[in-house]
């Protein structure tokens, strides 16, 4: 899996939009970009996945520029319950074991 780089931590307030950017300069042509969310003492949870341009679901949006060397996870109007660690992974994340980076620890305050 391609190596990823993302901020170690971010702080936000309730109601704000949070954007977490992940760099993946060595992404391969067939690689997908996948984001997971992990709450303390729980297993990671799939948030969103994309290949190019923009993907949106009920939880988040994923923006991927044309060169695909980075991606941005956008969480609209965060709440306290969005406090978690967010992991960006790149590759064939379905069938193969995942290599987790350090993730981004998001702290949402009232």
For another protein, the binding residues (CB under 8 A) are 32, 34, 36, 41-46, 49, 87, 93-95, 97-103
d(CA 109, CA 2) in angstroms, rounded, equals: 33
- Minimum gap (Å) between residue 90 Cβ and another protein: 13
d(CA 2, CA 22) in angstroms, rounded, equals: 12
Nearer to another protein, 32 or 63 (CB): 32
- Minimum gap (Å) between residue 81 Cβ and another protein: 17
Nearer to another protein, 50 or 108 (CB): 50
- Minimum gap (Å) between residue 103 Cβ and another protein: 6
CB environment 54-65: b (16+ within 10 A), e (fewer): ebeeeebbbbbe
Nearer to another protein, 42 or 66 (CB): 42
- Minimum gap (Å) between residue 44 Cβ and another protein: 5
Nearer to another protein, 21 or 38 (CB): 38
d(CA 107, CA 7) in angstroms, rounded, equals: 13
Residues with Cβ within 8 Å of residue 79, at least 6 apart in sequence: 14, 15, 108
3-state secondary structure of 36: strand
């Amino acid at each position: 899996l391609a190596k990823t780089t993302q901020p170690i931590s971010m702080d936000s307030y309730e109601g704000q939009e949070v954007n977490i950017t992940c760099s993946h300069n060595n992404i391969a042509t067939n690689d997908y970009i996948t984001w997971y969310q992990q709450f303390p003492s729980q297993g990671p949870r799939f948030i969103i996945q994309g290949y190019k341009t923009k993907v949106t679901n009920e939880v988040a949006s994923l923006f991927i520029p044309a060169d695909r060397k980075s991606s941005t996870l956008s969480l609209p109007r965060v709440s306290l319950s969005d406090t978690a660690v967010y992991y960006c992974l790149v590759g064939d994340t379905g069938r193969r074991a995942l290599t987790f980076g350090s993730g981004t620890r998001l702290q949402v305050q009232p």
